[in-house]
Each structure stands twice: as structure tokens, then as C-alpha cells.
Amino acid sequence: MKPNRFFIFHFSFFICLLFLAQPLSAAVSERELHQTVTRGLEWLANTQSSRGSWEASEAAYPCAMTGMAGIALLCEGSTPAHGKYSENIKKAVEFLLSRSRPNGLIGDPRSDDRYTYGHGFGMLFLSQVLGEEEYMDHREEIIDVLTRAVEFTGKAQTREGGW
């Protein structure tokens, strides 16, 4: 049976976050945990598309998956300018910037039925990259995208309080 890419992606992301947020349990050695996280990060790096995105099964949720994968790679310590995964992070940034629409949405409602989900993870990832971006022109582009994205988010809230 072929493993479900959606499950593997979320499992890898969860393991990476678990490593950073949880004290080590007695059942798992620090070495084993480090190896698991390393394998998860390597899997993420190796499954990134040539466009810079990651997707769940059947090309679903590209902005959400790219935002989450990018966050996991940032948690390793890499930035757009430095580190083992800097090229992956740069490609993810470029992909998300390319998905930014004039109205502020990071995503495409025509091809992603959960586009606000991806919009949120895209904003989160780009906001974390912003402080590490070394080139002023690129920083300004990210600030512009994030400013419009925040405005979109505020306008997209429903009367019931959700999105």
C-alpha cells in the first residue's frame, strides 16, 4: 500500500514541531528524535515541487502545504539566506508571493476550495521570513503582500466571526 502524501506531510510537520516544543520523553532518545526530525525535513526538502510548492494528495492545498512546510524548515534554523534549507525556503517564498492576488488573498479560490486555510499559513510563513530577508527590495515586496493579506483577512470575516 502506497503511503498517503497528505498523511506523511502532516506527520513530518507534526514531528518537527514536536521536537521543538516538547521535552524529550523517556521512551525516545534524543538521538532517535533527532534522526526522525532530520528524515522528516529531508523528505520535505526532497518533495518540494520545481515551482517551490508542496501539495497534499491530488494537488490540493498548495498554499497551506507550502506555508506549513516552510515553517518546519524555518524551525530547523535555516533562513532564506543561510542554512541547509535556504534554497527550499527561497523557493517557497517565491511561490507564495506569486500566489498573492491584488485583493490580498494568498491563494486561488478557483483551484483551492480551502483557500483561506492556505492564506493563513501563507501569511504565517511569510511573516516569519520577513525578519530574515536580507534584500530591501524583497523585504518591501513581502511587506506589501503581508499588508494586503492582513487587510483581506479582516474583510473576509463573516458575521458569525469565522472565515
The CATH code of the domain at 5-156 is 1.50.10.20
Residues 70, 117 contacting (CB under 8 angstroms)? no
Domain boundaries, the chain: 5-156
Residue 132 confidence (pLDDT) above 60: yes
Burial of 112 (C-beta count, 10 Å sphere; 0-12/13-18/19+): buried
Q: Which of 47-56, 96-105, 144-153 is predicted least confidently?
A: 47-56
Q: Which of 147, 91, 140 is nearest to 123 (CA)?
A: 147
Q: Which of 124, 119, 127 is nearest to 63 (CA)?
A: 119
Q: Which three cell numbers stand for residue 80?
A: 532564506
So what's the pLDDT on residue 84?
96
Average pLDDT of 95-108?
95
So what's the pLDDT on residue 159?
85
The verdict on pTM exceeding 0.85 is no
Predicted confidence band of residue 30 (pLDDT cuts 50, 70, 90): confident
So what's the pLDDT on residue 1?
40
Q: Which three cell numbers stand for residue 131?
A: 525578519
So what's the pLDDT on residue 26?
54
Most confident of 84-88, 108-112, 158-162: 84-88
